[in-house]
């Protein structure tokens, strides 16, 4: 059956079936034409096997990005960090570029949340090695449930022509109205880093507010309802209140398991502080955020837990796990 949203009939390659990539790849396979082939590449074989077992459609596996690139017209990558992206694309033995001839015509969507400078380095290598191919930095926002639901937001950096060409592919994974061209190369990632930083800063404020309310004796559900009807409303107060029982589907309701870990959150926060340094932007919250995450990744209350578990640093042991960061 042909795709209702116009995804082209082609051979699709998807690299990275982790927390986000699994749901994204599932939606690609479900929404592209049934005649299209999908090839997946994932280092964790149990994750790869689970994908092949549970997702219907024509799916093959590749042992390396090189093998995948040799067979695919459209390549999508969803990887945990910049180091992994560089290996996947640039490794001379196993990387994507090693599997492409100079006249290859690939459409490449790099959806990982990494440093803009790393993405620009990879883009330059792709453009030099494959002048007939097209590359977009296209990080996503929304979290794991929207990745599975196919309702992500895409923040895209690149040319308008390539963006328009790629929209039907991105629409298999995200809302068509939330596919946003943010500017030229790197702009998608810069936008994503700013968005992530604002979200985590507002979450820290929410943690402080909810903890204060509980200590005062306020009902947490009523407090959150008032916040959401007032000027304190934010994405986290709507979807991820840190107090268990306030929002049924929040990470707190699962005792902060599983999900986007504090280690990954530390990484994306550092991406933003690095970006601010690179462009010479003044920062006041940056040192505070760096300090919170540095403590979280070492503290058993949060280590390897979902990122919003940092609430425990505020609510347990009278906040003794947090330090005092003073901005001069």
Span 155-212, pLDDT tens digits = 999 999 999 999 999 999 999 999 999 999 999 999 999 999 999 999 999 999 999 9
Residue 142 has what pLDDT? 85
Query: What's the N-to-C CA distance of the chain in angstroms?
Result: 63
Tell me phi and psi for residue 134, to 5 degrees.
Answer: -130, 140
Give the helix/strand (H/E) hosting 156: strand 152-157
Give the helix/strand (H/E) hosting 174: strand 174-183
Tell me phi and psi for residue 247, to 5 degrees.
Answer: -125, 115
Beta bridge partners of 261: 306
> For 239-250, what is the mean pLDDT?
95
d(CA 271, CA 268): 5
Residue 178 has what pLDDT? 96
Helices (H) and strands (E) in the chain, counts: 13, 9
Q: 4 falls in which pLDDT band (50, 70, 90)?
A: very low
Residue 326 has what pLDDT? 62
Tell me phi and psi for residue 284, to 5 degrees.
Answer: -110, -40
Residue corresponding to tokens 């640039």:
90
Residue 1 has pLDDT above 50, yes or no: no
Tell me if residue 192 is catalytic. Answer: yes
Residue 43 has what pLDDT? 94
Residue 258 has what pLDDT? 80
- Mapped onto helix, strand or coil, the DSSP state of residue 258 is coil
| Domain 11-183 grouped into CATH 3.30.2270.10 | no
Residue 6 has what pLDDT? 86
Does the fold of domain 190-319 match that of domain 11-183? Answer: no
Could you give the angle at the alpha carbon of 36 between the alpha carbons of 31 and 39, nearest 5°? 95
Residue 2 has pLDDT above 60, yes or no: no
pLDDT tens readout for residues 105-157:
999 999 999 999 999 999 999 999 999 999 999 999 988 889 999 999 999 99
Q: So where are the chain's domains?
A: 11-183, 190-319
Residue 328 has pLDDT above 70, yes or no: no
Residue 233 has pLDDT above 80, yes or no: yes
Average pLDDT taken over every residue of the chain: 94
Residue 327 has pLDDT above 90, yes or no: no
Residue 325 has what pLDDT? 67
Give 128 or 4, the one with higher predicted confidence: 128
What topology does CATH give the domain 190-319? 1.10.1040
Would you say 240 and 308 are in contact if contact means Cβ atoms under 8 Å apart?
yes
CA distances from 149 to 67, 177, 292 (A): 29, 15, 31
> For 84-108, what is the mean pLDDT?
96
**Which of 31, 37, 167, 192 is flagged as catalytic?**
192
Give 2 or 140, the one with higher predicted confidence: 140
């Amino acid at each position: 059956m042909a795709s209702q949203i116009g995804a082209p009939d082609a051979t699709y390659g998807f690299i990275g079936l982790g927390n986000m990539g699994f749901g994204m790849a599932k939606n690609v396979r479900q929404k592209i034409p049934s005649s299209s082939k999908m090839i997946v590449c994932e280092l964790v074989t149990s994750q790869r096997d689970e994908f092949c077992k549970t997702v219907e459609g024509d799916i093959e596996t590749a042992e390396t990005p090189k093998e995948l690139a040799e067979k695919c017209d459209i390549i999508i990558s969803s990887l945990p960090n910049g180091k992994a992206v560089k290996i996947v694309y640039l490794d001379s033995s196993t990387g994507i570029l090693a599997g492409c001839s100079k006249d290859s015509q690939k459409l490449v969507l790099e959806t990982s949340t990494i440093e803009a400078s790393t993405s620009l380095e990879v883009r330059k290598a792709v453009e030099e090695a494959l002048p007939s191919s097209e590359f977009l930095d296209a990080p996503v926002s929304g979290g794991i449930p929207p990745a599975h639901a196919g309702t992500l937001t895409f923040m895209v950096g690149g040319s308008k022509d390539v963006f328009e060409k790629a929209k039907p592919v991105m629409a298999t994974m995200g809302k068509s109205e939330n596919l946003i061209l943010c500017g030229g190369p790197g702009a998608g990632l810069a936008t994503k880093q700013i968005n992530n930083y604002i979200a985590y800063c507002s979450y820290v404020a929410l943690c402080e507010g909810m903890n204060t309310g509980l200590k005062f004796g306020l009902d947490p559900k009523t407090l959150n309802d008032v916040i959401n009807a007032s000027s304190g409303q934010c994405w986290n107060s709507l979807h991820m209140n840190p107090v268990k029982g306030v929002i049924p589907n929040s990470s707190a309701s699962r005792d902060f398991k599983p999900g986007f870990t504090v280690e990954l959150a530390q990484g994306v926060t550092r991406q933003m502080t690095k970006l601010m340094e690179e462009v010479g932007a003044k920062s006041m919250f940056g040192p505070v955020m760096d300090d919170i995450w540095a403590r979280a990744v070492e503290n058993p209350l949060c280590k390897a837990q979902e990122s919003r578990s940092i609430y425990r640093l505020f609510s347990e042991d009278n906040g003794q796990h947090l330090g005092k960061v003073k901005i001069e």
